[in-house]
Amino acid sequence: MPERTSNNASEPAGAAKPGRWHGAAWIAGALVGFLLIAALIDAPVTRALTAWPPAERAFFAWLTQWGEAAWVLVPALLLWAAMRAVWFAKPRFWARWAARSVGAMSGFVFLTVGLPGLASAVLKRLIGRARPWRLDELGTLWFDPVQPLNASLQSLPSGHATTSFAFAVAMVALFGRTWGVVFVLAFLIALSRVVVGDHYLSDAIAGGLLGTLGAIWVRDWFAARRRVLERREGRLRNRFAAPVRRLWRKPVQRTAR
C-alpha cells in the first residue's frame, strides 16, 4: 500500500499558520501604538483639553452624559418587552409582524451595544489603569490590575466611547449608510471623556475600537444566521425594515381618510 502523504507535508513541523502571525502582528502593533500614545501624547492632550474655556468644557460636560449605556440599553430593553407583549396579544396580522420586527431590532441594538459595553466594564476593572485625576501623582502608565471597586483605577478602556461607537455601528447596520453621521456624535462623545478629565486619549481610542469591532462581531453573528440582518450580494440588509414601514404607513393612511 502506498503511504499517504499530508497536503502539508512540505511545511515544517510546528510551523505557525499565516493567520496566527497576522493576528499576533495586529495585537503587537496595537500594544506598541497604545504605549506610544500613552507615553508621548496622553499627558499633553489631557492638560490642553481640560484647560479649554469654561463654555467649551460645559458643552462637552453636557454631551458626555449621552454616552451612558443606560440611554441605549434601557429603552431598547423596554421596547423589546413591549413588542413581545403586543405579539402575544395577537393583534391584526400586519401589526403583529410589525411588533415582531420592532422587537427584533430592539433586541439587536441591546446586544450590539450591551456586549461590547460589558466587555469594556470587565476590562477596565481587570487592567486597573489610573485615571487622569491622578496624572500628576502617578503619570500616564500606572497600572494596578484587578480593581473592581476603585473608580480612580478604571480608566482603560472608555466605556462611553465603547457604547457610542457600538451604537453607531448598530444604527448603520439597521438603517444604512445615511446613519453614518452617528459616528460623528460617537467621536464627539469619546472626545468629551478627555475634555472632562475622566479618560486619556488612548482610553477613548481603545474604547472606540472595542465598541466598533465588538459591534461588528455581533452584527456579523446575526447576519450569518439571518436574524434581523442578512447578506445579499455582499451587502447587509435589514430583514424587518418592510414591516416597520408598513406600521408607519397605517396611521398615515387612516389620517388621510
pLDDT digits (tens, 9 = 90+) for 157-199: 999 999 999 999 999 999 988 888 999 999 999 999 999 999 9
- Nearest 10 degrees: CA dihedral of 191, 195, 198, 200? 60
Instruction: Say which residue the cell 493576528 belongs to.
Output: 23
pLDDT digits (tens, 9 = 90+) for 105-153: 999 999 999 999 999 999 999 999 999 999 999 999 999 999 999 999 9
pTM of the model: 0.86
The answer to whether residues 113 and 163 touch, using CB atoms and an 8 Å cutoff, is yes
Q: Is the pLDDT of residue 7 over 60?
A: no
pLDDT digits (tens, 9 = 90+) for 40-94: 999 999 999 999 999 999 999 999 999 999 999 999 999 999 988 887 776 676 6
Q: Is the pLDDT of residue 251 over 60?
A: no
Q: What residue type is 82 in one-letter code?
A: A
- Nearest 10 degrees: CA dihedral of 82, 85, 90, 93? 30
CA 152 to the chain's CA centroid: 23
Q: Is the pLDDT of residue 209 over 50?
A: yes
pLDDT score at 94 = 67
Indicate if the alpha-carbon torsion angle 210, 213, 215, 218 is positive or negative: negative
